[in-house]
Chains A and B, each alone.
Chain A
Amino acid sequence: MALAFGRRRRLCAGAFVLTALLCVSAAPAAVEMSTGIRYVIPSGSADDCSAKAKTALTAYLQNVTEQSTGGGEWVATGPLGVTGPSTAAAVVRCNAVGKGYVVTFTCVVQIPGNPYPADALCLDIAHNFSGKPVKPLPSPTPIPTGCTTASLVGTWTADDKPGLTLQMDVNGGLTDSDGVSGNWGLYGNTVTLTYYGTHTMTITSDGKRIHGGGYAFTRKC
């Protein structure tokens, strides 16, 4: 009986661990695209269009670039101020027609994971372009600053290299101060860091340090 009880206890513990892991896995997400807003400007140069496109994209996203110089196709990713994986992107296309131009707006977001839908993003970019009033978009959820053993979210500094920081996000991603990205996982007090290889580490009981395998990081909290 004692043996059966012990086995049940172990099975229960195993089931609990698996359930916990499944619960912390990222929820299925989807892409959502918005298109349809188009302005026909009867008089105006393609350069004017490009300048407005760049301004409008810069207001809401980052990494604004023109696909090819002078091509009038502008793309950006975001959200604004967020490092790590992109959850939003938009394209503004300027196409010269007669003495004016046609401009279109196409936006895509990841749902869930992005703080606003694709339609809202495209509407604001288009309104910024045309000078119409815009509705402020929700800001991304700020990264928690506290220390906890339940999550690695926050900013971590390497103990032996103060200039090296890891920004760990709520989705299990991390980005270092050089822009290199990776992943983190937490099981009990065991940390799995996928960053230049896979490292198994331990988190301290106060949630402030992770160490192991010759590495150690301290969290800002």
Chain B
Amino acid sequence: MNRSSRHRLVSFAVAFAVSAALLTAAAPAEIEMVIGARTTVPNEPVSACSAKAKTALNAVLQNAFEAGDGTGQWLAYGPLDSSGHSSATAAIHCYPVDTGYYVTFTCAVEVPPNPDTATNLCAKLAAAFPAQKTASITTPVRGGVRWR
């Protein structure tokens, strides 16, 4: 291989590496938050709501916990990445109403890097909450159109 060819090869390798790095550089992240489904469940104690909330959050996210004992407000985060950060989180609120309870879902993700939307996250949680009937449609709340 002559010197000119070698030079072109090295130049190509560098250009390729730079292009790869540019393509993989992180785009600016944005918080996406949605108000998920809500419903009223009659004739069931709020403790049942809490149990279901914990189960649903652990099924979709992980390490669900109550924001203060007995508050009925449950919170969980998604898996941690290699730097110990999570890009997804959700809360389920249970309120006692008459002889039953009222439950709401709130979801938030950071996009990128989270692969799922907040709307999908809330849909998964609602599906994982037993006997849950969707009473409202989720609507994403975020910034303007992003061109990539």
Q: Chain A interface (Cβ within 8 Å of chain B)? A: 3, 7, 10-11, 13-14, 17-18, 21-22, 24-26, 28-33, 35-36, 38, 63, 65, 67-68, 71, 73, 75, 77, 84-89, 91, 93, 95, 97, 102, 104, 106, 108-110, 113, 169, 171-173, 175, 179-183, 185, 187, 192, 194-196
Contacts and interface: CB of A to CB of B under 8 A. Distances in A.
Contact of A31 (B28, B71, B89, B145): B89
B87 interface: yes
B68 interface: yes
B125 interface: no
Nearest to B68: A36
Nearest to B148: A194
B142 A86 contact: yes
A173 B143 CA distance: 12
B75 interface: yes
Contacts of A84: 28, 143
Contacts of B131: none
Main secondary structure of the interface of B (DSSP, over half): mixed
Contact of B18 (A36, A87, A179, A187): A187
B10 A67 contact: no
Interface in B83-123: 83, 85-91, 93, 95, 97, 102, 104, 106, 108-110, 113
Given A18-B17, A33-B108, A67-B139, A110 B31 contact: yes
Contact of B29 (A26, A71, A179): A26
Given A21-B18, A93-B104, A35 B75 contact: yes
A85 B30 CA distance: 5
A93 B105 CA distance: 11
Interface string B127-143: 00000000010010111
B20 to A, nearest CB: 9
Contacts of B71: 36, 38
Given A97-B95, A104-B73, A30 B110 contact: yes
Interface residues of B, number: 56
Contacts of B33: 75, 77, 89, 91, 108
B110 A29 contact: yes
Contacts of B91: 33, 35, 106
A71 B139 CA distance: 14
6 contacts: A22-B21, A86-B31, A95-B102, A183-B148, A185-B25, A192-B22
Nearest to B141: A75
A77 B33 CA distance: 9
Nearest to A97: B97
Contacts of A187: 18, 22
B57 to A, nearest CB: 12
Contacts of A7: 6, 10
A26 to B, nearest CB: 4
Interface in B8-63: 10-11, 13-14, 17-18, 21-22, 25-33, 35, 38
